Chain A
Amino acid sequence: MTVIGKGEESGAVLEVEDLSVAFPTEDGLVRAVRGVGYRLDRGDSLGIVGESGSGKSVTALAVMGLLPATARVRGSVRFEGTELLGLPDARLSELRGSGIAMIFQDPMTSLNPVYSVGYQIAETLRRHNPGLKSRAARARAVDLLGTVGIPSPERRVDNYPHELSGGMRQRVVIAIAMANDPDVIIADEPTTALDVTVQAQILDALETARAETGAALVLITHDLGVVAGHSDRVAVMYAGRIVETGSVEDIFYTPRMPYTLGLLGSLPRMDREEERLTPITGSPPSLLNLPPGCPFAPRCPLRREACDTTEPALRKAGHDLHLSACHFADELVDTGAAEVFDAVGADSEALARFADTTTPPPHSTTAEEDSA
């Protein structure tokens, strides 16, 4: 398993190396994360993209040390040189909220309903700044609420979470995360549970948090659009591994892994003319019983014999900082999703069945039609 940029020397604020997480369940061992590695320098912005079940959230929780006690974690997670895995919880709790902070997905349930938002912000301030008096903490909480864009913070500070909208609650969570000037902020799907209109505001608030604290940001999402505007580097995860990583331009313009290609192709584009969508058929594999070979193979149009026998390693594809895990990455140079995946032909067939009017029968190979 290749590590992206060995970071023994200083500069790296967070280094994850060959991280594996497995959960024993009644049905067997679920291998949720299988050898993930990345490196964050000060002020970096990394986007981790993947479907549900790809292991992106579990990776984040492993870094924070918040997995249940039954989880089996192996590998290495180094924060500013200190190894985190294996640290006693008391030590870890010193780092959480001050060195590394985390933002969770659902703002409706992230805050304790019986305490005011100001109290919950002050709580983290006073935990990591023992001398801080409650009045000073409250004042700082008001400041933070203002920074994240909550109007009338001096009134809002005493509100209970249920008195705030989802967007505002998420801002409170961001305020809590940035309160102690962390060096790393991990945001686990911060906008997934919110309306699209609010999403942009939250992402802006995150940017503000980053700017104010100088923290590196790990933005975990399934939404490529979010990543496109807010990350410098991207890691694509599938079935518990990183299958492609590189700069945002690398990933979006020259993807080298069929899964990435498929993800891009399944996004509707407002800026291009009418293009057929090319969704990826099938569903992610069960992490209980991964067959040998590449986990994406069952859904991959490029699938060949090699794909079923050996799992491809994460290798250089193009240049040093662009890595992908596909045996046939080279074949994907200069291809678009439509050339690899089938467009959606089913729609028009279904329509034809329902329509009374005489619709011309769809062509059998739409790929042929679209390729230049």
Chain B
Amino acid sequence: MLAYTVRRILVSIPVLIASTFIVFLVVVNAGDPVANFATSRQPRPSPAAIQAFARHIHANEPAVQRYWNWITGVLHGDWGPSVQPNLDIGHDLFTRFRVTLTLVAAAMLIALVLAVVFGVFSAIRQYTAADYTITFFGFLFLAMPVFWFAVLLKQAGIWFNEQTGSQFLGTIGEKSPYLEVDTTWNEFTDRIGHLALPTITLALVSFASWTRYTRASMLEVLNSDYVRLARAKGLRRRTVMVRHALRTALIPLATVTALDIAIILGGAVITETIFQWHGMGEMLVESAATVDVYRTMAWLLLSAVVVIGFNLIADLLYAVLDPRIRYD
């Protein structure tokens, strides 16, 4: 297993390089930062200033060279020049990453737990009113645009705050700019309050899709021969349900969860934008709007590492959970 893991990691590196190189080419050609610089500043910069800027962001160098310099630079912690002066891309990236990580982790956890509960329940009570209701809402949530739901939740949060006279549900930012009474507990509840709505938003789509998946997986298992044999052995219903059905049905879910990370990241971008979190989502929108090549690449590199990493975790998890899969 260890050998397999190491091998997979080693193979991932050329994939990462190929992926980021292609993306680099795309990003470099997707926008013209120099033109943006020349036209967006007031007063208009002089030709000399424009030239200096172009040199600063390596705009006139061939793409391959730029890529090479950039990727080797990253290995030393040098993430390249941003169009915003004085912005340390690397430092900014990691600060924001921690913010986004909280959101993504919380959302995935809640979505997973709820999906298992509802999916299993739905499968056991197939064809009942409860099953149809859960299935319908699953469809509904899958069809609901994240941004629309987020705005709706934001409104609901404001309304809730007004009704209860509190400020518990934070709708702006990941924490309050200052706390009246600054204790650890207050800081904690403040964070939770601000985490609540964005987490629900981000969890929504994953919850819907994972519930459907769990339900389907559970149904398939419940109708399987080995569950029937387990019952024929005289095992009690509950034992069969947990030890045989659930255990086997959840295996594919574990990997689906890990593989959906790319979709969750996309959702996080939107969620953070609406709730004004200072996380990676805001960073991506900002760097795309300012045509900041190196900052965008930093974002995409980190996201690529995360996605490839999660793919690897998914595969390893599968091997751990299912004895039929062994990589030797």
Contacts and interface: CB of A to CB of B under 8 A. Distances in A.
**Do A and B touch, yes or no (CB under 8 Å, in the complex)?**
yes
B234 interface: yes
A176 interface: yes
A97 interface: yes
A111 B229 contact: yes
B44 interface: no
A104 B236 contact: no
B219 to A, nearest CB: 13
Contacts of B230: 112, 123
Nearest to A159: B323
Contact of B237 (A93, A94, A97, A109): A93
Nearest to B232: A102
B228 A114 contact: no
Interface in A128-187: 128, 160, 162, 173, 176
B322 A114 contact: yes
Interface in A74-96: 89-90, 93-96
B322 A113 contact: yes
A93 B229 contact: no
Interface string A197-224: 0000000000000000000000000000
Contacts of A66: 228, 231-232
- The bracket for how many chain B residues form the interface is 20 to 34
Interface string B227-250: 111111111110100001001100
27 contacts: A66-B232, A89-B237, A90-B236, A93-B234, A94-B234, A95-B234, A97-B233, A97-B234, A101-B232, A101-B233, A102-B229, A104-B232, A106-B225, A111-B229, A112-B229, A112-B244, A112-B248, A113-B322, A113-B323, A114-B321, A114-B323, A124-B234, A127-B235, A127-B236, A128-B234, A160-B324, A173-B229
Given A66-B231, A128-B234, A110 B324 contact: no
B239 to A, nearest CB: 8
B127 to A, nearest CB: 9
A110 B228 CA distance: 8
Contacts of B251: 114
The 10 A-B pairs at the shortest CB distance, nearest first, are namely: A97-B234, A96-B234, A109-B225, A97-B233, A124-B233, A112-B226, A102-B232, A160-B323, A162-B324, A110-B225
Contacts of A94: 234
A164 to B, nearest CB: 12
Given A96-B233, A110-B229, A114-B321, 11 more contacts: A64-B232, A97-B232, A98-B234, A109-B224, A112-B244, A112-B248, A113-B323, A114-B247, A114-B248, A123-B235, A127-B236
B235 to A, nearest CB: 6
A20 to B, nearest CB: 22
A143 B235 CA distance: 22
A341 B248 CA distance: 51
Contacts of A127: 233-236, 239
A123 B248 CA distance: 17
A128 B231 CA distance: 13
A8 B322 CA distance: 50
Q: How large is the interface on A (under 10, 10 to 19, 20 to 34, 35 or more residues)?
A: 20 to 34
Contacts of A104: 225, 228-229, 232
A92 to B, nearest CB: 8
Nearest to A128: B234
A315 B27 CA distance: 86
A93 B233 CA distance: 8
Interface in B300-328: 321-324
A66 B228 CA distance: 8
A101 B231 CA distance: 10
Nearest to B324: A162
Nearest to A111: B226
Contacts of A97: 232-235
Nearest to B234: A97
Contact of A96 (B226, B232, B244): B232
Interface string A108-123: 0111111000000001
A114 B251 CA distance: 10
A93 B324 contact: no
Contacts of B231: 66, 93, 96
Interface string A20-55: 000000000000000000000000000000000000
A128 B228 CA distance: 17
A85 B41 CA distance: 85
A106 B228 CA distance: 12
B107 to A, nearest CB: 29
A98 B227 CA distance: 17
A124 B235 CA distance: 7
B131 to A, nearest CB: 14
A145 to B, nearest CB: 16
Nearest to A99: B234
A194 to B, nearest CB: 15
Nearest to A96: B234
Interface string A342-355: 00000000000000
B182 to A, nearest CB: 50
Contact of A176 (B227, B233, B322): B233
A89 B237 CA distance: 8
Nearest to B230: A112
B155 to A, nearest CB: 44
B226 A109 contact: yes
Interface in B255-294: none
Contacts of B323: 113-114, 160, 162
Contacts of A98: 234
Contacts of A64: 232
A90 B237 CA distance: 8
Contacts of B235: 93, 97, 123-124, 127
A223 B110 CA distance: 54
Contacts of A173: 229
Contacts of A93: 231, 234-237
A116 to B, nearest CB: 8
Contacts of A124: 233-235
A311 B58 CA distance: 93
A176 B231 CA distance: 12
